[in-house]
Amino acid sequence: MSNSARNSTKHVKLFIPGPTEVRPEILDAQTEWMVGHRMPECIDLIGQIRPKLAQVFFTDAPILISASSGTGFWEGAVRNCVSRKVLNCVNGAFSDRWREVTEANGKANEVLEVEWGQPVLPEQVAERLATGEFDAVTVVHNETSTGVTSPIQEIAQAVRQLPNGDDIIIMVDSVSGLSGAELRTDAWGLDVVLTASQKAFALPPGLAFCSVSPRAMAKARTVANRGYYFDFITMEKYLVKNQTPATPAVSLLFALNRQLDDMLAEGMENRFARHLAMRDATIAWAKSQGFTLFPAPGYESPTMTCVNNNLGLEVSALNAYLRSQGMALSNGYGSRLKNKTFRIAHMGDLQMADIAALFAGINQYLAQTPPAASF
């Protein structure tokens, strides 16, 4: 399908942290003829997807696939893997929402509060878990509200060193990290890793993925009231037959299969390196314009940059200008960070040339509307 055939909406290139830009060939892959999810064609499709997804997650564990956004697996993770008490690590709006989901599901919890802009650190987590009361911990890899990446590998190491460390289910949200920011599920000893299609996977929204380690699956078998749609045991029972318990988002699976081929052709190491290079270029551009960064130094996300609006730009006016040029970035997240920061996603299939075009657009706006005048 040509781009001009997609004429119901004007193309605005997305530099927002989800949904991210989707390439035309991936959009087109969704237009395959429909198949039934119990038909051999769909079983074969999921059979092709599973080993590729495993390479992207760096795991041999089952990766559950659901027709939902990432939020679904937040609920699934706490419903399936917590029976005593969970420690919710909160360093931004999304990690706080996982806390909210935990409480909405009636699970006992405590909260490790970390200042926004800071990472969750291994020693903080280990200190809280050392009481021995907890059987699980939730942590967000890439906090999309603040642009901070937490050191998941080191956090997991610190947890496993605790006397009861092998009994603690380590649950990681990498919704805006996975496949762009390095994450190695098995090598890092992570039990539950969840993500969604509309971020670094550069797919349309509507699919979520969740790897479940043997330890987490064994735990789920002991937990009552796992819920229905996200019952890990039922989902795995179907997954091993290359099926899902309920109807999957078949068109999105076609797109996923095509996108996984392209991701693996690029190579995961190259993909991580490309994201880091775009991150570094974005930081360099921001500093060259006199902006400072919201994240603590050393923890800046590879997939998106949260820039302090220390020059006093009118972010909505900047974005209106960018939209007239066919681009969009994001304001700061929520009442705490809106207008105080703005966010540039360099995520998914975006290339260095794309972000260079964005910087040129912002520079043009700054030249026309100097910050002092716009504030």
Ligand X SMILES: Cc1ncc(COP(=O)(O)O)c(C=O)c1O
Residues that bind ligand X (CB under 6 A): 18, 69-71, 94, 140, 144, 173, 175-176, 196
- Write the DSSP assignment of 92-120 as a string of letters: SHHHHHHHHHHHHTT--EEEEE--TTSPP
As measured in angstroms, the least distance from the Cβ of 299 to ligand X is 15
In whole angstroms, the minimum distance from the beta carbon of 4 to ligand X comes to: 30
| Cβ density class 13-34: b for 16+ within 10 Å, e for less | bbbbbbbbbbbeebebbbebee
DSSP state of 315: H
Pick 182 or 313: Cβ nearer ligand X? 182
Long-range Cβ pairs for the range 125-129 (8 Å, 24+): 125/87, 125/89, 125/155, 125/158, 125/159, 126/158, 126/159, 126/161, 126/162, 128/87, 129/87, 129/159, 129/162, 129/165, 129/168
Closest distance of CB 225 from ligand X, Å: 22
Nearer to ligand X, 91 or 309 (CB): 91
Give the nearest distance from C-beta 364 to ligand X in angstroms. Answer: 29
Question: Quick one: angle between helices 250-266 and 40-57, nearest 10?
Answer: 40
Give least dist CB 76 to ligand X, A.
Answer: 12
**DSSP conformation class of 3:** G
Cβ-based nearer residue to ligand X, 94 or 116? 94
Q: Which is nearer to ligand X, 140 or 337 (CB)?
A: 140
How far apart are CB 211 and ligand X at their closest, in Å?
Answer: 16
Q: Which is nearer to ligand X, 124 or 144 (CB)?
A: 144
Minimum distance of ligand X from residue 6's CB (angstroms):
23
Instruction: Pick the closest to residue 70 from 179, 249, 196, 211 (CA basis).
Output: 196
In angstroms, the Cα distances linking 366 to 49, 60, 172, 304 are 45, 49, 39, 21
Q: What is the dihedral of CA 265, 268, 269, 270, to 10 degrees?
A: 50
Nearer to ligand X, 162 or 210 (CB): 210
